[in-house]
Amino acid sequence: PSAPELPHRAPVVTIMGHVDHGKTSLLDYIRKTKVAAKEAGGITQHVGAFEARTSKGKVVFIDTPGHEAFTTIRARGANVADIAIIVIAADDSLMPQTREAIAHAQAAKVPMIVAINKIDLPQADPERVKTDLTQLNLVPEEYGGDLIVVPVSARTGEGVEDLLEYISLTAELEDLRADPKGEFSGVIIESRVDRQAGVLATVMVQEGTLRVGDFLVVGENYGKIKAMTDSNGGRIKEAGPSTPVQVLGFSEAPASGEKVFSAKNEHAARELIAQRVSDRRDAEAARTQRRRTLEEMMGPIGETRTVNLILRADTQGSLEAIQGILAKKETEDVKLNVLLSGIGSPTEGDVLLASTADATILCFSVTASGGVKKVADTKGIEIKTFRIIYELIDEVDRLIKGNLE
């Protein structure tokens, strides 16, 4: 618990649950938006952070995808949360990603509230959901336990006010405080490259205040904030604790989940990074040495066939999700070798690399420009573009199969 003299801050509430159980729709109802209706394939494929003015004051919501591919995003969502809302559809009850979401919330030690959604449906069975929860040792209050369970409908809005009330009560119990005048720290929620604007990073301010002109250090990357917008797209000059902001000013997209610090000036930022680079090189040298020793003992590892890939995605989060799945697809016989992965559209360089290394270029939610397409055509390289993650994965399966035949 923080020192009692610090001011209160808004709760950060992460919404998690199985695919299509209504997480985004619930947020749409609360925020009076229509995000869910516009999503490709009807599924959420990114993490979104939104500041909402509710009848109970400001609440920051983090929407996460329910599709099984996005485990890392869910885990990270739970880690930045003060409260986790587990959304469970009343007509479907507990499903694999519901259990996964519960596990993430428990691992992150954040208080959980269960929202049983879609109670407007005739086949809704909220009692069954409660019984199923009890089997996981999560006992609803009305059964004598301490789990808050709120029946809601994202369609009719029934129960949503109660949910907001429970969020507010839980936040009060947690006594969330932060110092807007203290040293800034935050976390990268998501980052992407916009063709016009450049690198856009969503930063959650956790402590202190972020201002346009500040220098930020993330990993081995730094940037000076050129512009900042709030989660509704409005331009702002500064942002205090519990505020998600989109920041323009990094030259490279920072990795999601990374901590963000500020530096007094460019010189201080560079010095901090130089230290980090040198620490990393030392660690790498030690690893190489260990591997050499191991190879001397065991000899080189046997031949396997390799599928060479170049990956391009719209955001760091989706890139990681794809890489996570690819790692699981590797077998003893076929190795998936990602030669290059990056955020943003494929470049001419990617095409040249693909043609020398006989690689396939897979794009997720980004497309090649006309110029790059032309180069690809002349080199006989196919650039495959997908808007839905499992269609990209199906393509990888085909490539693996083709390689084995």
Binding residues: 17-24, 63-67, 117-120
Place of tokens 């209504």: 22
According to the binding rule CB under 6 A, does residue 74 interact with ligand GTP? no
Which of 289, 256, 326, 275 has its CA nearest to residue 75?
Answer: 256
The C-alpha atoms of residue 215 and residue 182 are separated, in whole angstroms, by 16
CB contact at 8 A, 76 and 47:
yes
Sign of CA dihedral 178, 182, 188, 194: positive
Q: How big is the site for ligand GTP, counted in residues (CB under 6 A)?
A: 22
CA distances from 98 to 199, 246, 269, 318 (A): 33, 29, 41, 20
- Cβ proximity to ligand GTP, 77 vs 346, nearer residue: 77
- Which of the ranges 37-45, 68-76, 96-104, 162-170 carries the binding residues for Na ion, by CB under 5 A? 37-45
Which of 51, 53, 82 has its CA nearest to residue 236?
Answer: 51
- Which of the ranges 5-13, 114-122, 214-222, 349-357 carries the binding residues for ligand GTP, by CB under 6 A? 114-122
Q: Phi and psi for 155 in degrees, rounded to 5?
A: -80, -50
- Cβ proximity to ligand GTP, 25 vs 221, nearer residue: 25
Burial bucket for residue 111 (CB in 10 Å: 0-12, 13-18, 19+): middle
Contact string 12-41 vs ligand GTP (x = CB under 6 A): -----x-xxxxxxx----------x-----
Q: Which of the listed partners (Mg ion, Na ion, ligand GTP, none) does 7 bind, with a CB threshold of 5 to 8 Å by partner kind?
A: none
Q: Which listed residue (68, 120, 132, 174) binds ligand GTP by CB under 6 A?
A: 120
According to the binding rule CB under 5 A, does residue 44 interact with Mg ion? yes
- Cβ proximity to Na ion, 43 vs 49, nearer residue: 43
Q: Phi and psi for 234 in degrees, rounded to 5?
A: -80, 140
Q: Which listed residue (9, 11, 13, 20) binds Na ion by CB under 5 A?
A: 20
Q: How many Cα atoms within 13 Å fall on the side-chain side of residue 354? A: 27
Structure tokens that stand for 15 in this block: 């919404």
Q: Which residue is nearest to ligand GTP (CB)?
A: 66
Tell me the residue type at 16: M
The C-alpha atoms of residue 374 and residue 372 are separated, in whole angstroms, by 5
According to the binding rule CB under 6 A, does residue 121 interact with ligand GTP? yes
According to the binding rule CB under 5 A, does residue 24 interact with Mg ion? yes
According to the binding rule CB under 6 A, does residue 46 interact with ligand GTP? no
According to the binding rule CB under 6 A, does residue 75 interact with ligand GTP? no
CB of 25 to Na ion, least distance (A): 8
According to the binding rule CB under 5 A, does residue 97 interact with Mg ion? no
Binding interface with ligand GTP (CB under 6 A): 17, 19-25, 36, 42-44, 65-67, 117-118, 120-121, 153-155
